[in-house]
Chain A
Amino acid sequence: MSDDRPAGEANSRYDQARYIENGEYEPLLSEKDLTRVEIDGGVGDGGDESDGDGDDSPLPDDLTRDTLELPELSEPELARHYTRLSQMIYGIDSGPYPLGSCTMKYNPKFTEDVAALPSAAVHPDRSEGSVQGTLELLYRLQDYLGRIGGMDAVTLQPPAGAAGEFVGIRVAAAYHEHNGEGHRDEVIVPESAHGTNFASAALGGYDVVSLPSDDEGRVDLEALEAALSEDTAALMLTNPNTLGLFERDIEEIAEMVHDVGGLLYYDGANLNALLGRARPGDMGFDVMHYNVHKTFATPHGGGGPGAGPVGVVDDLAPFLPAPRVRERGEESTSGDSIYERFEPEHTIGKVHGFDGNWLVLVKAFAYIARLGDEGLSDASASAVLNANYLAEQVEYDVPYGPFHHEFVASAGEQDAADVAKRMLDYGVHPPTTKWPEIVPEALMTEPTEVESKDTLDRLAAAFNAVAGEDDVALEDAPERTTARRIDQTSAARTPRLSWQALSE
């Protein structure tokens, strides 16, 4: 899109996918061919149908259901169905996706191939001796992450960032309990923090103390002083915070928290901005999670899976989930290190049925190994440059600054949600809207390091075109997408959550 292209004549990225014949969308599978299978002919106890032709169930009637009714389609029909659905989706491979705090960046394709290696497909209950490759990869990723975060010990078990937060909270609780400080029942969270911080602390049984920001968008030290007490278990902090601002007083913050016996938790969602420039461990953080699907580029898959490894300083290592992986200190006949699982001394136990989202961990390992020091450092440099450049080009008011990898613009008199809908007409994904609430009508924007200057100029043009439009254009948007504006209210008021509910 160029600056001079008028609104409404944006690109036709979605048009190809808008309708199939008769102006309808891709039908549900259930609308194509629903088949009811009778599950009958139960043999009863003692019966033997093992040589049967499959017509009769090998199970007695009283232990089986009567019917199963699901779509039955041919493989070509399914190939077309899912291809059609994929054409009605915008992904990072479709265009820029500056969704603030979600770090939607391009994902290299080769990581998919290494995760699909047959040797990666092993059962979690295999003997240690037979999965040395898997254990070595886990060990090496633990080690990489420890170095990158400045942490002494890492667990790879949490299957997402929020799960990592929960593990951090549980580890903090176990640490305090172990030290006879189990009375600490408060976790402090800045108002600008990700909603998951509040929810994870509450899930861990803590009272959440909300912390206001100061006039510059950072932690208000006086408010922090007032919030800290003998009851403080931890402060959960994102640095740079969700406004894209580095908490410059981090050393003082760490000292204040540690002085009352609390722990400092680092929310790794924004680590993309710091690689090679600063490490949470060096800033005084005791425990952190890594969103490897954000920082180290694993595809987000329509909302998951991710992985949320947790790193801690030495004092907290004995409380990490079990098992972790370590070198056994001997070598195999071929000279390779031998790896083993082990249970930390005061472990909180398990937070996942097995060992987390393995395939995501393989991709993260490959990504880090590909980029190395220089690549990781350059990723942050480009992400920060992109955010500052785009913030400069956008005609909306952008308070605070200077920015790290994201910034929050204000739509001012316009409704930020409407602005987002209108941006869809310009063929780009809009930013996160209406959050953080510190900025009115927030447009939280994170271009990431993978967007070129040209793309950023296009994005800025989309922002600026919408900034000049009146309410009517905004309220009618989007006009050029697969679906027009969707009625959220009726979806919530009359929930229809399955095709069974649609046919009622």
Chain B
Amino acid sequence: MHGSHATGSPYAPHTEEDRTAMLEAVGADTVEDLFDIPADVRFEGSFDIDARTERETRRLVRSVLGRNDDLTELLGRGHYGYYVPSLVDHLADRSEFLTSYTQYQPEISQGFLQALFEYQSLLVELTGLAVANCSMYDAATALGEAATLADRVRDTTGHRVLVPERLREERRSTLENYVAGTDLAVETYPVDDGNVDLGALEASVDEEVVMLYAENPTVRGTIEEHLEAVGDLAAANDTLFVLGSDPIALSVLQRPVDVGADVVVGDASVLGLPTSYGMGLGLFATREDYLRQVPGRLVGASEDATDRRAFTLTLQTREQHIRRERATSNICTNQAWVALRTAMHAAVLGPSGMVDLAERDVRRARDLAARLDDIVGVKAPVHDRHHLREFVARVDQPATAVAEDLERRGFAVHVVGDHEIQVCVAGVSDDRIDRFAEAVEEVAR
């Protein structure tokens, strides 16, 4: 019979009898005697945090989060709210998945190891590259890891890292922090009508460039048309070509290996997570040549003592817990459970489902752009390119005013310029898109 937990942790199971017996066993009078803390640094105060029942706590969180407006989000730019099938929630929430830790004892972790092996395999198919790790934090940190990889594997004397001038500021800033401890310097190259400005890039790339980064689709939602030329340029200058993308885009767009990409980074949580305030899953894949320099965790196939196939973490000598300051990365806790969800979502869709989802969004984005373009005071899309699921629209009115008016009507869009908004169809139902187009018509004149 456990005692009441009115004033203690509800998850600590000791009864008073247990405590007494345990204290006796360790030879202490009170639990406080076990705290070997000098009096000068003992904390005698209070945090002033009231304990609540489970029901009260749920009510508190519900009431705080209830202050969020219920808006239809036509937002993207790296974070997408695709519908996640119920199957993913139910299976990923099985407590064996949820409450296990890193698979340091593979003999009792085969299920998670196999799921991560399948996730790695998904990325290998999507990128065409031979090696994928089983997760970084998000696209921005994966880009940072790619730069430190470039610093390790390129034996040139160069220090330049080239990124497109139109890159989310947050990604650029994260990259700057990752390279702060190296000699690398981040520079930008121009873009032209939503794609790489090839001529300008050609003029800028030389053998001092250790890493060249491009995105497909771009932050403006366009599909990049010059990837092969970028890959050739990188190869000619012995520069690591890093391509940013995501699993839905990769199901239909040019295979990274075919355009000469050395590393693919990006956010894989486009599958598996709902809109979650930017929580993500960093995708990281690369060529076999860099296997022993790859950051993060890897799951490999092996055999057990009875010669049956079994999975295990491998090449751990790259990792911080063994190699310390010479590790390929400081990452320890990663996004394994999100990777599991991504693999599950991809499995539910299957290859035809993934292709359909991407192609359907290409059509829906194109249709919506055409509809908006018919509205007086709107030009869409701004770029005369193919778009995957989002596009930029020019509005005659100030973009902030348009966005505010749309928000009052229940729709959220990005403001990306004084007279530019960006609109994303990912995860938005067709009838909401209809109503959105009507709302734009009302506010854009």
A255 to B62, CA, bound (A): 45
Which one of B13, B26, B139, B317 contacts A353 once the chains associate, using CB atoms below 8 Å?
B139
Q: B111 an interface residue at 8 Å Cβ cutoff? A: yes
A453 in contact with B47 given A124-B79, A485-B304 (CB within 8 Å): no
A302 in contact with B350 given A65-B253, A114-B58, A140-B64 (CB within 8 Å): no
Q: A473 an interface residue at 8 Å Cβ cutoff? A: no
Q: A502 an interface residue at 8 Å Cβ cutoff? A: yes
Q: What are 14 residue pairs bridging A and B, where the CB atoms are less than 8 Å apart in the complex? A: A57-B359, A78-B344, A88-B109, A88-B114, A203-B329, A305-B333, A308-B333, A350-B140, A353-B171, A353-B280, A382-B31, A385-B23, A495-B315, A498-B117
Which of the 9-residue segments A2-10, A220-228, A354-362 touches chain B? A354-362
Which one of B26, B121, B317, B356 contacts A498 once the chains associate, using CB atoms below 8 Å?
B121
Q: B299 an interface residue at 8 Å Cβ cutoff? A: yes
Q: Are A353 and B168 in contact (CB under 8 A)?
A: yes
CB-defined contacts of A59 to chain B, threshold 8 Å: 223, 252-253, 359, 362, 386
Given A119-B65, A121-B275, 10 further pairs, Cβ under 8 A: A50-B367, A68-B251, A162-B320, A303-B297, A353-B79, A375-B51, A381-B32, A424-B105, A486-B303, A486-B305
Q: A328 an interface residue at 8 Å Cβ cutoff? A: no
Q: Are A491 and B101 in contact (CB under 8 A)?
A: no
Q: Are A483 and B99 in contact (CB under 8 A)?
A: no
CB-defined contacts of B350 to chain A, threshold 8 Å: 35, 70-73
CB-defined contacts of A302 to chain B, threshold 8 Å: 97, 100-103, 109, 112, 115-116, 336-337, 340
Q: Are A162 and B333 in contact (CB under 8 A)?
A: yes
Residue of A nearest to B340 (CB): A302
Q: Are A110 and B359 in contact (CB under 8 A)?
A: no
Q: B255 an interface residue at 8 Å Cβ cutoff? A: yes
Q: Are A120 and B138 in contact (CB under 8 A)?
A: no
Give min CB distance, B144 to chain A, whole Å. 9
Q: A313 an interface residue at 8 Å Cβ cutoff? A: no
A58 in contact with B366 given A64-B254, A198-B320, A497-B120 (CB within 8 Å): yes
Q: Are A136 and B37 in contact (CB under 8 A)?
A: no
CB-defined contacts of B49 to chain A, threshold 8 Å: 144, 147, 368-369, 371-373, 376
Give min CB distance, A211 to chain B, whole Å. 13
| B9-23 interface code vs A (CB 8 A; 1 in, 0 out) | 111111000110111
Which of the 9-residue segments A21-29, A257-265, A408-416, A462-470 touches chain B? A21-29
Give min CB distance, B77 to chain A, whole Å. 6
Q: B1 an interface residue at 8 Å Cβ cutoff? A: no
A174 to B328, CA, bound (A): 24
Give min CB distance, B302 to chain A, whole Å. 4
Which one of A37, A85, A452, A500 contacts B124 once the chains associate, using CB atoms below 8 Å?
A500
Q: Are B354 and A70 in contact (CB under 8 A)?
A: yes
Q: Are B225 and A121 in contact (CB under 8 A)?
A: no
A206 to B182, CA, bound (A): 10
Q: Are B35 and A375 in contact (CB under 8 A)?
A: no
Most buried by B among A300, A351, A370: A370
A248 to B42, CA, bound (A): 11
* Contact residues, B392-419 vs A (CB, 8 A): 403-404, 407, 412, 414
* Contact residues, B86-102 vs A (CB, 8 A): 87, 89, 91, 93-102
A166 to B181, CA, bound (A): 11
Q: Are B57 and A498 in contact (CB under 8 A)?
A: no
Q: Are B181 and A205 in contact (CB under 8 A)?
A: yes
CB-defined contacts of B352 to chain A, threshold 8 Å: 35, 37, 72
A203 in contact with B330 given A72-B351, A303-B336, A385-B34 (CB within 8 Å): yes
Which one of B100, B301, B303, B330 contacts A89 once the chains associate, using CB atoms below 8 Å?
B100
Which one of B51, B176, B250 contacts A373 once the chains associate, using CB atoms below 8 Å?
B51
Q: Are A499 and B121 in contact (CB under 8 A)?
A: yes
Q: A459 an interface residue at 8 Å Cβ cutoff? A: no
Which one of A88, A491, A498 contacts B130 once the chains associate, using CB atoms below 8 Å?
A498
Q: Are A282 and B43 in contact (CB under 8 A)?
A: yes
| A108-129 interface code vs B (CB 8 A; 1 in, 0 out) | 1010111011011111111101
CB-defined contacts of A496 to chain B, threshold 8 Å: 300-302
Give min CB distance, B440 to chain A, whole Å. 17
CB-defined contacts of A88 to chain B, threshold 8 Å: 108-111, 114
| A374-409 interface code vs B (CB 8 A; 1 in, 0 out) | 111011011011101100110000000011100000
A379 in contact with B320 given A35-B352, A365-B61, A490-B303 (CB within 8 Å): no
Q: Are B135 and A304 in contact (CB under 8 A)?
A: yes
CB-defined contacts of B291 to chain A, threshold 8 Å: 495
Q: Are B331 and A162 in contact (CB under 8 A)?
A: yes
* Contact residues, B33-54 vs A (CB, 8 A): 34-38, 40-43, 46-54
CB-defined contacts of B94 to chain A, threshold 8 Å: 82-83, 86
Q: Are A484 and B305 in contact (CB under 8 A)?
A: yes
Q: A290 an interface residue at 8 Å Cβ cutoff? A: no
A69 in contact with B108 given A301-B98, A485-B305 (CB within 8 Å): no
A486 in contact with B107 given A36-B351, A120-B65 (CB within 8 Å): yes
A84 to B37, CA, bound (A): 47
Q: Are A353 and B75 in contact (CB under 8 A)?
A: no
CB-defined contacts of B331 to chain A, threshold 8 Å: 160, 162-163
Give min CB distance, A283 to chain B, whole Å. 5
Q: Are A133 and B64 in contact (CB under 8 A)?
A: yes
A72 to B102, CA, bound (A): 28
CB-defined contacts of B251 to chain A, threshold 8 Å: 65, 68
A297 to B58, CA, bound (A): 16
Most buried by B among A366, A376, A430, A453: A453
Q: B433 an interface residue at 8 Å Cβ cutoff? A: no
A353 in contact with B278 given A54-B359, A70-B351, A297-B11 (CB within 8 Å): yes
Residue of A nearest to B324 (CB): A198
Which one of B105, B336, B347 contacts A301 once the chains associate, using CB atoms below 8 Å?
B336
Q: Are A126 and B73 in contact (CB under 8 A)?
A: yes
Q: Are B97 and A86 in contact (CB under 8 A)?
A: yes
A348 to B180, CA, bound (A): 10
Q: Are B54 and A108 in contact (CB under 8 A)?
A: yes
Which of the 9-residue segments B154-162, B205-213, B306-314 touches chain A? B306-314
* Contact residues, B355-400 vs A (CB, 8 A): 355-356, 359-360, 362-363, 366-367, 386
Q: Are B252 and A65 in contact (CB under 8 A)?
A: yes
Q: Are A482 and B108 in contact (CB under 8 A)?
A: yes
Give min CB distance, A292 to chain B, whole Å. 11
A450 to B176, CA, bound (A): 42
Q: Are A246 and B36 in contact (CB under 8 A)?
A: yes
Q: B25 an interface residue at 8 Å Cβ cutoff? A: yes
Give min CB distance, B437 to chain A, whole Å. 15
* Contact residues, A220-267 vs B (CB, 8 A): 245-246, 248, 250-251
CB-defined contacts of B338 to chain A, threshold 8 Å: 301, 304-305
Q: Are B111 and A497 in contact (CB under 8 A)?
A: no
Give min CB distance, B177 to chain A, whole Å. 5
Residue of A nearest to B40 (CB): A251
Residue of B nearest to A387 (CB): B34
A29 to B340, CA, bound (A): 13
Q: B429 an interface residue at 8 Å Cβ cutoff? A: no
Which one of B57, B60, B131, B276 contacts A497 once the chains associate, using CB atoms below 8 Å?
B131
CB-defined contacts of B274 to chain A, threshold 8 Å: 121
Q: Are A114 and B62 in contact (CB under 8 A)?
A: yes
CB-defined contacts of B70 to chain A, threshold 8 Å: 119
CB-defined contacts of B23 to chain A, threshold 8 Å: 385
CB-defined contacts of A106 to chain B, threshold 8 Å: 11, 99
Q: A451 an interface residue at 8 Å Cβ cutoff? A: yes
A498 to B51, CA, bound (A): 48
* Contact residues, B131-148 vs A (CB, 8 A): 131-132, 134-135, 137-141, 148
Q: B258 an interface residue at 8 Å Cβ cutoff? A: yes
Give min CB distance, B181 to chain A, whole Å. 3
Q: Are A353 and B141 in contact (CB under 8 A)?
A: yes
Q: A75 an interface residue at 8 Å Cβ cutoff? A: yes
Q: A134 an interface residue at 8 Å Cβ cutoff? A: yes
